Amino acid sequence: MLHKIKGTGVALVTPFNSDHSIDFNGLSKLVNHCINGNIDFLVVMGTTAESATLSLSEKQDVLEHVKKINNNRLPIVLGLGGNNTQSVINSFSQFQLDGLSAILSVSPAYNKPTQEGIYQHFRAISLASPLPIILYNVPSRTSSNMTAQTTLRLAHEFDNITAIKEASGDLEQIMTIIKNKPSSFSVLSGDDALTLPILFMGGSGVISVLAQGLPKEFSAMVQYGLEKNVTKANSLHYKLIDFVKPLFLEGNPAGIKSMLNTLDICQKEVRLPLVMTSNSIDEKIKKELVKLEAS
C-alpha cells in the first residue's frame, strides 16, 4: 500500500460542539471537504486531532465515523504513538484496523530517550504492527530529535517501516535521509511551510494541517512540486505561505479550527488546556482567505 501514501495527506482535526462533545456532522463535512479538494490520504488521530484529550471510546468512534464517511475513497492512516512502548503495542488490539493503510507513530515525548532508545521503541512497534508504519519526528513537541542515522537504521532494517513524517525543520537532516534511504521509503514533510522545498529535494509528499482548510490549492501545489513544475508550484506556495504564521501563532489546532469555522465546516472549539484563537488571529485568517479568493 506504500504507493498510496504519498502526495497530500491531512492531519484531521476533531470538531467539537459548544459543550465539547464530538461534532460528527462537522467531521463529516471536513472529510468530504478534503476529498472534494483532491487530497490523497487522510490521517486520523494525529496530534492535530487533540488525541491527548480524547478517551479511547471517542477515538474509536472518530475512526469508525471517518471510515464510514470516506467509504473507501481514500487511504486512511491512524495515529498510534506515545512514550510507553508497550501501551502503543497494546493499542493495536483496541482499534478496528481493517481498511487502514498505515500507522503514524510519533517518536516518544517527554522521557527523551537516547537514539538507541528511539530505535528500540520503533523496533518493538515494527515487530508487533499489523500495518505499515510511518515514523513521525517532531522535536518541537517531543523535545527529542530522531537523527537521520536512526531513521535510516530503521528504514533499512524493517520492511514495514515505510515512511517518515519529518518535522524537524532541519533541511540538512532531511536531505541526508532522502539521499541514503531505501528506494521504497518515503519522506513526507511535517511542516506546511517547508513542504515545497522538501518535495524539490526528493520528498514524496506531506501530512499537512493547512491542507484541510485549503485542500484544492495545497494539493495542487504538492502535485506541481512532485512534477517539478517550479513555476506553478512556487506560485501556489507563495500564495499559501502567508497562512502559516497566523495558523500556528496561538497553537495547533486552534488556528486551523478558526479557518474551518470561517469556512463554515466546524466550530472553533478546542479542549483544555488548549484555548480558542483570539479575535486578532481570526481576522488575520479571514483577511488571507479574502486575498486568496481575489488572486
Q: Position of cell 531505501?
A: 182
Q: Longest C-alpha distance within the chain, in Å?
A: 51
Active-site residue, from 67, 136, 268, 284: 136
- The answer to whether the beta carbons of residues 159 and 104 sit under 8 Å apart is no
Instruction: Confirm whether 224 is a catalytic residue.
Output: no
* Torsion angle of the four alpha carbons 229, 235, 236, 239, in this order, in degrees rounded to the nearest 10: 170
Distance CA(104)–CA(40), nearest Å, equals 16
Angle, CA 198 vertex, CA 188 and CA 47 arms, to 5°: 40
Residues 6+ apart with CB under 8 A from 203: 174, 178, 186, 187, 188, 189, 195
Of residues 165, 181, 268, 284, which has the active-site annotation? 165
Is the CB of residue 115 less than 8 Å from the CB of residue 138? no
**Which letter does DSSP use for residue 52 in this model?**
G
Is 286 tagged catalytic?
no
Catalytic center residues: 136, 165
